[in-house]
Structure 1
Amino acid sequence: MQTLCAAIVLVCAAPLAAAESMHGRVFADANGNGIQEAREKGIAHVVVSNGRDIVLTDTQGAYVIPVETGQVVFAVKPAGFAARRGVNGMPAFWQAYQPTRESGLKFGGLDLQSSLRFDIGFVPDVKPVSGPSRVLVFADPQTKNAADVGYYRDDVVADVKQLQKRQKSNFLFGTSLGDIVNDDLSLYPSMNAITASMGVPWLHIPGNHDIDMDASSDLHALDTFRNTYGPDTFAWNERDFTYIGLDDVIWTGAPSSGYTGGFRQDQLAFLRAYLATLPDDRMLILGMHIPLFEAEGRDSFRDADRQALFDLLARFKHVLVLSAHNHTQQHVFHDRSSGWQGSTPLHEYNVGAVCGAFWSGVKDAQGIPDTTMADGTPNGWATLEIQRDGRYSLVWHAARDAAQPAMHLSAPHALRRGAYPAWGLYVNAYMVAPGAKVEFKVDDGAWKTMQRVRRPDPNLLAENARDDAALSLRAYDRSPEAQNVEHLWRGALPTQLALGTHTVTVRYADINGAMQSAQRTYELQDAAP
């Protein structure tokens, strides 16, 4: 125990004072049954945490860590191993300590669990990663009833399965960035069964709609979530990077507006201790629900907590933040103006929603709502690919669209030849940096630079107008009201060309530097006054 005690003193985030201690072994679980057998060796130097303190396993894989009622003890998955599946199909790398039932919450809270012995088995990876690492990223599935769960299955999960077949994709894991459901936590089992059917380990982060709304304080607000998915803040190691999941929803106990973005002190203590064990050149990917950037017109994140996180991350050379919550999509680059002191701007990808606009809009022939988001981005999901040197690429997958368009174009179909060129071609480019150069040309003409504009998407405005004009409901919930888009560009269509049809081509470099292009046509016609 001398090695273990020394590790505790070295890396613990806070004084180890608690009524009880959890103990056990982290071991190489060759047959994946969760029981350490004689031939299965312990794994040394694995981080084990109670969500605040961390310890390292000794040479035999043994650990001892203080634990308090309501805490979740977990191991940081070591690279080269996989977590075995629990009974709900989710990764089994954690155990809650709840010796007495206290919560009385509607959706159950934490189950009784008084054992202070917890052995954690990780399965040796028999197929080591070759080439780049790949991760699935979901944001806001946000199902509110059984019908929405069916949409989740048929609109998105079925699409992922098709991608896996087409590309023979080998994803290390998937992650959901909060709002797994829309307040009805009884839907967790049905959502888990569908998620597990993809055959990919899945890590969940809580959102403001994953809260026990009858909890009186933030202390118990995620009891049912933790009972289902484990720690709300955790780390997970792969060969090329470390993934850190962060609960950033502070619950104040009022269902209508009882939350803000931020972190608890125990989370920051865990981060402080854990990050101290990593080298500066380790690639970090952080997943959270509420964006770090402020929502327009309101204070949506506690400034001191954001700054504390930025200060902890500043020494790392490669950091990517994944956030959700807004049901729109954009890329934000933090710099010194927002408190980031790293050597390069910090990239935050605010991921569009799986549910799009809350499963709203007119249904298609398969009975699935259109659910385009308020910024005109189609609902869907993302893939993240990480290289060994810290470079990465991101792709947005529009649900059930095998062509995977990177944009859509809006323009008139017909204009009068010789009219004043006041009518615009609009490009809604879902995966583009704010400062990108977007260009268009007509036929074989010269390329012209388009202007970035902040206004609603024309296609969604047209859908809003159709909903307004309808004498009866067109959908269970109509499409969202179009809002200003952060990735919209405009160019004026020329009218001093020959009569007839003309082809417009658009091009730009996306967030990965890859060229994207699209075309459409318009016709110039003669008209008399």
Structure 2
Amino acid sequence: MRRFTLTTMLLAGMFLLTQQGLSRAESSGKTATGYVFHDANQNRKFDAGEKTLPGVAVSNGLKVVRTDENGKYELPVTDDTILFVIKPRNWRTPLSKNLTPEFYYIHKPKGSPKSHFAGVAPTGPLPKSVDFPLYPQKEPNQFRALFFGDPQPRDQKEIDYIAHDVIEDLVGTDASFGVTLGDILFDDLSLFESQARGIALLGIPWYNVIGNHDINYDAPNDKLSDETFERAFGPSYYSFDYGTVHFIVLDDIEWIVTDESKKNKKKKGKYQGGLGKEQIEFVKNDLQQIPEDQLVVLMMHIPLVGVEDRQDLYRLIEKRPFCMSISGHTHHHEHRFITKEDGWRGAKPHHHIINVTVSGSWWSGAPDERGIPHTMMADGAPNGYSIITFDGKEYNLDFRAAGRAAKYQMNIIAPEAVTVDQVAETNVMVNVFNGSEKSKVEMQIGESGSWAPMERIVAIDPSFKKLSETENGVEEKSYRNLPKAKNSTHLWQAKLPDGLKPGTHLLRIRTVEMDGDEHVAGRVIRITPAKPSEKTASTEK
């Protein structure tokens, strides 16, 4: 009877562990232990007398545990596990010489398998104690962060473009940290170091999201596609706190190698937007540590609506009243509001930002006076970056065009001159780069004119279409063709008001964005006398 009872208890215990998400790591029998501590002498070693930190979250990429009253944690590991501390508020992790956060320990005793670009070197046996040093810092409720979409340099020349087009203007920024939202590079993973060195000139911690151009294309499966990224930056998904906000970095690049690809060495695999069960489990366990009234920001590369298993993620975040997400990848700027049409079950639509890209349209188009391609994006917006101000549960995104003043927020599309009899038939368009369906856009002629509403449309930006046709039509050019124009979600149009008299007029556009920011821009337009008709001209003769 006792034997049956023990067997039953063991089976029940195994079932309970399975229900809680038993992983390969937990079944391997290896356990990592260590401490999270205040590294008072900043030598990255846990020395006698240094204070341990209880209640700090630590993860193995699946489970999330908190340090006990002695600052100690325990987590199961395999021979391919990255342990990482989840940075708490008012503490920072060590930084590399390039200011990338070093919040992790990679356990790969035999290292990464051989690949075209080097992965992780063998790490040897699991240390007796894997400790995580932290350093105190003040983190106010209100702070700013920089967001780079797709810098995507092919070579050192394009890394230099980034330095001159974006980095130089941002030196001295008051942002607390920055994030690259994937496609850090354009396939040549040997350039991770050089790219990081340039961004480090900003003098702030810099986090990285993995993109589809940042993976090992010769990897036989998704698990091994991140080896070079891991060597450079650590885990491909993780989380951290800053101020009152909880940030989650996601790896939504799923690398698929079919049996046919394995047989044909010349045929590579393919990628799709995907998270996978283990990452979903990590997000679930991570969010269980986060109060529902705390703002959560998800950062990824492929836009959320392009992720195959996004419904699993929706179930984890849709009941949270304060949650937003941001991505890159598509090389245009857009505010998406995810609704029940995409399977979202939340009380209100989820706000997802597809961020402007640093590389614009992949460093294409004619070079400017600096020798840098103007690289306008296919939605008619310039290349650039975003600055997001966080304040408690609120956030506010500011669009910044590379190499331009902060006030450059729109492009007004109107003719140079209009005859007085054609005024009422003349269309004015404006591309409000950070505009969305929640923006209010109005037009005014002259200082005393009334503000008239403009109509939002989804269409091709005519200025980009004209520019791309002109530049792409040049023969034997030294620059890359611009991409095919795509529909812009931030275009507005209106007719000129009837009754304008001949003369030079100031046309002004005013936009109020969803976060209340107001921007005004102007364009000079001439109204000329009506041309005499053929009949009138003949009579005069």
What is residue 356 of structure 2 aligned with on the other side?
Answer: 352
- Say if 1:21 and 1:116, in contact at 8 Å, map to a contact too: no
What is residue 307 of structure 2 aligned with on the other side?
Answer: 301
Matched, 1:114 2:124: yes
What is residue 496 of structure 2 aligned with on the other side?
Answer: 493
- Say if 1:418 and 1:496, in contact at 8 Å, map to a contact too: no
- CA distance in 1 between counterparts of 2:367 and 2:67 reads 53
Q: Over aligned residue pairs, what C-alpha RMSD do you find?
A: 2.0
Matched, 1:453 2:457: yes
Cα gap change, 1:335/1:153 in structure 2, threshold over 3 Å: closer, same or farther?
same
What is residue 521 of structure 1 aligned with on the other side?
Answer: 524
**Regions of 4+ moved over 4 Å:** 254-257
Give the deviation of 1:282 after TM superposition: 1.1
Cα gap change, 1:403/1:92 in structure 2, threshold over 3 Å: closer, same or farther?
closer
Matched, 1:430 2:433: yes
One of 48, 62, 70 as aligned partner of 1:38: 48
TM-score, normalised on structure 1?
A: 0.91
Cα gap change, 1:122/1:187 in structure 2, threshold over 3 Å: closer, same or farther?
same
Give the deviation of 1:13 after TM superposition: 4.8
TM-score, normalised on structure 2?
A: 0.89
Structure 1 gap ranges (5+)? 1-7, 294-299
Amino acid at match of 1:63: Y
Amino acid at match of 2:41: N
What is residue 194 of structure 1 aligned with on the other side?
Answer: 198
Give the deviation of 1:32 after TM superposition: 2.5
Cα gap change, 1:115/1:45 in structure 2, threshold over 3 Å: closer, same or farther?
farther
Cα gap change, 1:369/1:468 in structure 2, threshold over 3 Å: closer, same or farther?
closer
What is residue 377 of structure 2 aligned with on the other side?
Answer: 373
Give the deviation of 1:67 after TM superposition: 1.1
- Percent identical across equivalent pairs? 32
Give the deviation of 1:256 after TM superposition: 7.1
Give the deviation of 1:12 after TM superposition: 6.7
- CA distance in 2 between counterparts of 1:285 and 1:445 reads 42
Give the deviation of 1:406 after TM superposition: 1.6
What is residue 319 of structure 2 aligned with on the other side?
Answer: 315
- Say if 1:502 and 1:521, in contact at 8 Å, map to a contact too: yes
What is residue 406 of structure 1 aligned with on the other side?
Answer: 409
What is residue 340 of structure 1 aligned with on the other side?
Answer: 344
What is residue 261 of structure 1 aligned with on the other side?
Answer: 273
Cα gap change, 1:223/1:154 in structure 2, threshold over 3 Å: closer, same or farther?
same
One of 476, 479, 495 as aligned partner of 2:479: 476
- CA distance in 1 between counterparts of 2:228 and 2:60 reads 17
Report SS of the residue matched to 1:133.
strand
What is residue 10 of structure 2 aligned with on the other side?
Answer: none
What is residue 69 of structure 1 aligned with on the other side?
Answer: 79
Cα gap change, 1:196/1:132 in structure 2, threshold over 3 Å: closer, same or farther?
same
Report SS of the residue matched to 1:103.
coil
Higher mean C-alpha displacement, 128-137 vs 329-338? 128-137
Q: Could you give the per-residue CA deviations for residues 370-400 of structure 1, whole angstroms, max 9, x where no partner exists?
A: 0111111111111111112x01111011112
Cα gap change, 1:423/1:136 in structure 2, threshold over 3 Å: closer, same or farther?
same
Cα gap change, 1:403/1:391 in structure 2, threshold over 3 Å: closer, same or farther?
closer
Report SS of the residue matched to 2:159.
helix
- Say if 2:411 and 2:432, in contact at 8 Å, map to a contact too: yes
What is residue 284 of structure 1 aligned with on the other side?
Answer: 296
- Say if 2:390 and 2:396, in contact at 8 Å, map to a contact too: yes
- CA distance in 2 between counterparts of 1:418 and 1:338 reads 48
Structure 2 gap ranges (5+)? 1-15, 262-266, 534-541
One of 427, 439, 443 as aligned partner of 1:440: 443
Give the deviation of 1:456 after TM superposition: 1.6
Larger radius of gyration: 2
Give the deviation of 1:290 after TM superposition: 0.5
Alignment size in residue pairs: 503
Report SS of the residue matched to 1:270.
helix
- CA distance in 2 between counterparts of 1:13 and 1:514 reads 45
Cα gap change, 1:133/1:89 in structure 2, threshold over 3 Å: closer, same or farther?
closer
What is residue 297 of structure 1 aligned with on the other side?
Answer: none
- CA distance in 2 between counterparts of 1:197 and 1:391 reads 29
What is residue 246 of structure 1 aligned with on the other side?
Answer: 250
- CA distance in 2 between counterparts of 1:131 and 1:523 reads 49
Matched, 1:326 2:330: yes
Higher mean C-alpha displacement, 428-437 vs 372-381? 428-437
Cα gap change, 1:468/1:272 in structure 2, threshold over 3 Å: closer, same or farther?
closer
- Say if 2:99 and 2:204, in contact at 8 Å, map to a contact too: no
- CA distance in 2 between counterparts of 1:46 and 1:12 reads 21
Q: Could you give the per-residue CA deviations for residues 271-318 of structure 1, whole angstroms, max 9, x where no partner exists?
A: 11111121110110110000012xxxxxx431xx21111110122221
Give the deviation of 1:509 after TM superposition: 0.9
- CA distance in 1 between counterparts of 2:438 and 2:89 reads 36
- Say if 1:51 and 1:71, in contact at 8 Å, map to a contact too: yes
Give the deviation of 1:420 after TM superposition: 6.4
Report SS of the residue matched to 1:418.
helix
Matched, 1:364 2:368: yes
